[in-house]
Amino acid sequence: MIAVIAIDGPSASGKGTVAKAVAEQLGFYYLDSGALYRITAYCAKQRGISELEESRLNAMLQSLFIEFKHHEVYVDNHLVSEAIRSEECGQLASKVASLKLVREALLSLQRGFCRPPGLVADGRDMGSVVFPEAILKVYLTASPEVRAQRRYNQLINKGISANIMNLLQDIIERDRRDQTRTESPLIQLADAHYLDTTALSIEESVSQVLHWFHDSIQ
Ligand code: C5P
């Protein structure tokens, strides 16, 4: 059996940073499932497909060649790592992510990341739908204000101007959409460890997840 660590949580909670560091320390593969929904949104926009056209989105996904290599994301051999990170793409991603056919189209792709020696997967439904057999499930969150501040710092460090109140509003809106949709909503599972990183450093969060992982394989 391949060990899977599922880390779910709301947007900008820091789960990507924590999941990547945990994967690195354990020598595991890493799946950024949010990137797949962002790619769907980005490619749909490029092709003039709206978030209401479920079957066109599904057909589009069947034809895309998505690759993650050397910490970069490629679609049909084009580098899209930066382009899919915009706030606009995140908002559109959360709209296409509510569609059943889109989620189904991405399911086998996500499961394909599960290879020995193990996988750390981050998203919204890693523990509930994609890898329900995960050996460790974590629900990682932080207060909306801290998440907005972290996103603000990230953007400013990249030289992108940002407004913290707009970021906070976007985060609250995306949380609501992700938590209230019918298809695979973001929920805190009964068998998931709860990790509130509001007052924790990245190192403290990483070491807590590693501690739970070592406990779970004893
Ligand atoms: O994690 P990230 O913010 O990059 O994800 C973008 C959007 O993709 C989320 O707001 C969410 O709606 C959607 N998503 C999802 N299920 C996942 C990962 C992301 O619905 N497993």
Q: Where are the alpha helices (DSSP H) in 27-180?
A: 33-47, 54-63, 87-96, 100-111, 144-157, 164-180
pTM: 0.95
Segment 30-73, tens digit of pLDDT:
999 999 999 999 999 999 999 999 999 999 999 999 999 988 99
Query: What are the structure tokens assigned to 218, written together?
Result: 């004893």
Which pLDDT does position 218 carry in this prediction? 86
Q: Where are the domains of the chain?
A: 3-216
Closest Cα partner for 118 from 192, 35, 34, 30? 30
Segment 139-151, tens digit of pLDDT:
999 999 999 999 9
Say whether pLDDT at 198 is over 90. yes
Class of domain 3-216: alpha beta
Ligand 1 mean position, distance from CA 6 (Å): 14
Say whether pLDDT at 213 is over 90. yes
Report phi then psi at 48, rounded to 5.
70, 30
| Cβ(123) – ligand 1 distance below 6 Å | yes
Q: How confident is the model at residue 1 (pLDDT cuts 50, 70, 90)?
A: confident
Say whether pLDDT at 111 is over 90. yes
Which pLDDT does position 185 carry in this prediction? 95
Ligand 1 mean position, distance from CA 39 (Å): 11
